[in-house]
Amino acid sequence: MAVLTENKIKPKKTENFRYKFKVKDIEKMYQAGVFREDEKIELLNGEIYRLSPIGLRHSIVVDNLNKILNRIVLQDKDILNV
């Protein structure tokens, strides 16, 4: 859209706009098929981020940390799983 001033046409400044999504918006997107059911996303401050799949290396590190925390915090009495 343009604004007419003094017989000259000047382009109107475009505004940067970001829509802030809510959980209900994300749920509707899943229902509409925007995201696959198995697709992992994260909603941070109204913005959507696609998450990378968890790889083998990540899984091994989480397992090892889980074992260490079990020993330290629970002293092997109960099992804490992340």
Q: Render each residue's pLDDT in the chain as its tens digit; 82 residues.
A: 455 555 666 666 767 778 899 999 999 999 999 998 888 899 999 999 998 888 899 899 989 998 888 888 777 565 656 6
Residue 34, CA atoms < 13 Å, CB-side half-sphere: 11
Note the pLDDT of residue 22: 95
**Cα–Cα–Cα angle for 47, 12, 2, nearest 5°?**
130
Note the pLDDT of residue 72: 80
**Alpha-carbon gap, residue 26 to 23, rounded angstroms:** 5
Q: Which of 11, 50, 41 is nearest to 23 (CA)?
A: 41
The answer, as to whether pTM is greater than 0.85, is no
Note the pLDDT of residue 77: 62
Tokens 């915090």 found at: 73
